[in-house]
Amino acid sequence: MNNIIKISLACALLTPLMSSCLKEFEPTSSVSQKQVNKADKSGLVNAIPAYLNNYSSDDDYDIGFGGFNIWRDASTADLVIKSTVYDYFWRVGSCENLGAQMTPSTIYRRYYALVQKCNLVLTAIDPENKPTEESYATMAYAYRAYAYFEMAQWFEYKRTGFASLDSKAESSGIYGLTVPIVTENTTDIESRHNPRAPFYQMYRFILTDLNKAEKYAEGKGEPAIKTEAGLGVVYGLKARFWLTLGTRFDTYANDLATALGHENDEALTFDKLGVNSAKECFELAAEYARKAINRGYTPTTESQWFDPTTGFNSVNNAWMWADVINSDNGLAKTCTWQSWVSFLSPEATYGVCTAEYKAYRMIDSRLFEKIPNADWRKTTWIDPSDVGKEAAFNQKYARGLNIGYSTWAEFEAYCGFKFHPGGGAISTSTVGNAISIPMMRVEEMYLIEAEAVGRSQGESAGRILLEQFVNTYRYNNGTYMSRSEGLEGFIDDVFTQKRIEFWGEGIVLWDYRRLEKAVTRGYEGTNWPTTYQFNSNANAVAPWSTLCIPQREITYNTEIVNNPDPSSGGSYSKWDGE
């Protein structure tokens, strides 16, 4: 174990070029106080965002946390792929090899490695007595809350509506369980016998971290470096947090009762949730979303969106938080096809989503049909009526591209050109792969606020906010109206705007799961590959969107009870065309 401790500390201080750290890191390991006291504190802090870009060649999809974004969107109905031959996210497309022995190991260990880096910082600093270390505390608490919040959503088993899976979950007693909590105070012995935290404990733990991050960020301006977590990011994380809890408690009154029943548990030393209803959660979500907006961020403009040099590869005034891949990072310096740009930018000649390899990403055809011409985002994707037409290219698409007509004409309908190589360098991977990936944009705050206000103050109030956002920032003629009937219809309208706005950014899966929306890939006129045409149930969660805890963790941690394997295996089948 001492060797693992030493390796873990070394990994925290090294640059992201070291991908071997992943192989050595154990989620259950800890670090001695003496080792931490000798470490450079700024180096420990900088290692937190740097770790987002650690990668390995063990899994082709593993390009760090950016790959997890693609994984999540590929789990939905939105991020279609043309050809499956070079699809390195095929498991959630074909719903195969998703069990404990396979896929989740890299994802699980990377999140815990990020947690470990946060724990190292928290062990090394004393923000209560050293004001100069308050920003370090904000970073560590915010990133740790982010890691646990995403793991809690991704690994907690939710009802799928498929009896063979749900009955296994019921008999195993795993409903309501998230992941083990490992803090800066968790010992090695404790971590070997560390059960999955129930949701009410996990949410209180996350809220405690966010409250501490907020405390240490108060009175400070927004960081100039977008990898840092300032007060705006903390507000944004709280907005996400309260919207998720509000939706859960609104849908499942028993979960609210369970959470309230554990508010006064003496064994739980975390902050109390302090709410008594779903409505209070939504009110807090709206409050924090507005606080985040008021930190000075403004939505992406049309010219920024379609800028072929900087569009969705460089931070701007809308980006609150970002994963930045510098030119000296291995993902830019060494990798070529194994990269964010290779997987998402059809312009990059060195990628796999070119017209040659056909692993380019498309928007779902039914989602595209929901975008009217008045929405200037529509030309992010090729309209079926424009395929191969030079006049359409010149009039509608050329402004946002680094390629000419002859290359563009090789791509088929619905192909998306949202993401561009760094600096528009389509043929030089060392330049093109040095990009930034959005982790939080202010547009999300506007949409959270709209939904939360609609749920807490009445749908008409929410519709006003939704229409104001879309007409002010996304439509060129102010004609957008939220027309769907009732509160559920309004929520669907917000959800649709999120699907369009954040296509490819790895955010919308949380909404699919939170709202229990069906993932529908098989239907008449679908543009999904035949082998990926799986449909999940309405008012339930897609089975393949829940991850299993890897066998390696189960071996080391004797208290783990795992989720059922979400691979199809007869539990559900592809759409049969009827």
The answer to whether 320 and 232 have CB atoms below 8 angstroms apart is: yes
Q: Write the CB contacts of 486 (distance below 8 Å, at least 6 apart in sequence).
A: 459
Residue 148 belongs to a domain: no
Residue 137 CA to residue 115 CA, distance in Å, equals 13
Residue 215 belongs to a domain: no
Beta strands in 346-463 (DSSP E): 361-363, 436-441
Environment class of 44 (CB within 10 Å of its CB; exposed 0-12, middle 13-18, buried 19+) = buried
Residue 483 belongs to a domain: no
Full residue range of the structural domain in which residue 340 is found = 326-434
Whether the predicted pLDDT of 12 surpasses 60: no
Residue 58 confidence class, pLDDT cut points 50, 70, 90: confident
Output the pLDDT for position 6: 33
- Kindly list the distances between the CA atom of residue 296 and the CA atoms of 4, 224, 226, in Å, as whole numbers in the listed order: 43, 12, 14
Residue 38 belongs to a domain: no
If we measure between CA atoms, which residue out of 314, 290, 114 comes closest to residue 226? 314
What are the backbone angles phi and psi of residue 351, rounded to the nearest 5°? -95, 175
Give the three-class secondary structure for 480.
coil
Residue 56 CA to residue 551 CA, distance in Å, equals 19
The answer to whether 429 and 332 have CB atoms below 8 angstroms apart is: yes
Residue 533 belongs to a domain: no
Domain total in the chain: 1
Whether the predicted pLDDT of 14 surpasses 50: no
- Residue-wise pLDDT tens digits, 476-494: 999 999 989 999 999 999 9
pTM tops 0.85, yes or no:
yes
Output the pLDDT for position 30: 47
Whether the predicted pLDDT of 529 surpasses 50: yes
Residue 536 CA to residue 520 CA, distance in Å, equals 6
Residue 300 CA to residue 290 CA, distance in Å, equals 17
Output the pLDDT for position 33: 56
If we measure between CA atoms, which residue out of 215, 260, 248, 255 comes closest to residue 234? 215
Q: Among 54-58, 103-107, 190-194, 478-482, which is the least confidently predicted range? A: 103-107
- Residue-wise pLDDT tens digits, 451-478: 999 999 999 999 999 999 999 999 999 9
- Residue-wise pLDDT tens digits, 170-216: 999 999 999 999 999 999 999 999 999 999 999 999 999 999 999 99
Residue 108 CA to residue 114 CA, distance in Å, equals 10
Output the pLDDT for position 36: 62
Give the three-class secondary structure for 221.
coil
Outline where 433-559 has alpha helix (H): 442-457, 459-473, 486-501, 508-515, 551-556
Q: Write the CB contacts of 121 (distance below 8 Å, at least 6 apart in sequence).
A: 41, 44, 45, 48, 136, 137, 139, 140
If we measure between CA atoms, which residue out of 26, 37, 23 comes closest to residue 1? 26
Mean pLDDT of the chain: 93
Q: How many CB atoms lie within 10 A of CB 13?
A: 16
Residue 36 CA to residue 54 CA, distance in Å, equals 22
The answer to whether 55 and 31 have CB atoms below 8 angstroms apart is: no
Residue 5 confidence class, pLDDT cut points 50, 70, 90: very low
Residue 505 confidence class, pLDDT cut points 50, 70, 90: very high
If we measure between CA atoms, which residue out of 269, 479, 355 comes closest to residue 86? 355
If we measure between CA atoms, which residue out of 421, 226, 418, 402 comes closest to residue 327? 421
Tokens of 298: 């403004």
If we measure between CA atoms, which residue out of 80, 104, 172, 92 comes closest to residue 543? 92
Output the pLDDT for position 37: 64
Output the pLDDT for position 491: 98
Residue 329 CA to residue 337 CA, distance in Å, equals 15
- Residue-wise pLDDT tens digits, 545-571: 999 999 989 999 999 999 999 998 889
- Residue-wise pLDDT tens digits, 19-37: 223 333 444 444 555 556 6
Give percent above pLDDT 90 in the chain.
89
Residue range 244-260: mean pLDDT, rounded: 98
Whether the predicted pLDDT of 15 surpasses 50: no
If we measure between CA atoms, which residue out of 384, 385, 421 comes closest to residue 401? 421
- Where is 37: in which H helix or E strand? helix 33-37
Residue 87 CA to residue 357 CA, distance in Å, equals 10
Residue 270 belongs to a domain: no
The DSSP annotation for 167-184 comes to: HHHHHHT-TTB------T
Whether the predicted pLDDT of 59 surpasses 90: no
Tell me the pairing of strands 361-363 and 79-81.
antiparallel
If we measure between CA atoms, which residue out of 239, 262, 252, 194 comes closest to residue 441? 239
The 8-class DSSP code of residue 98 comes to -
Q: How many CB atoms lie within 10 A of CB 483?
A: 9
Environment class of 552 (CB within 10 Å of its CB; exposed 0-12, middle 13-18, buried 19+) = middle
Output the pLDDT for position 16: 31
Residue range 314-332: mean pLDDT, rounded: 97
Residue 507 CA to residue 154 CA, distance in Å, equals 12
Whether the predicted pLDDT of 275 surpasses 90: yes
Residue 355 belongs to a domain: yes
Residue 428 belongs to a domain: yes
Residue range 281-288: mean pLDDT, rounded: 99
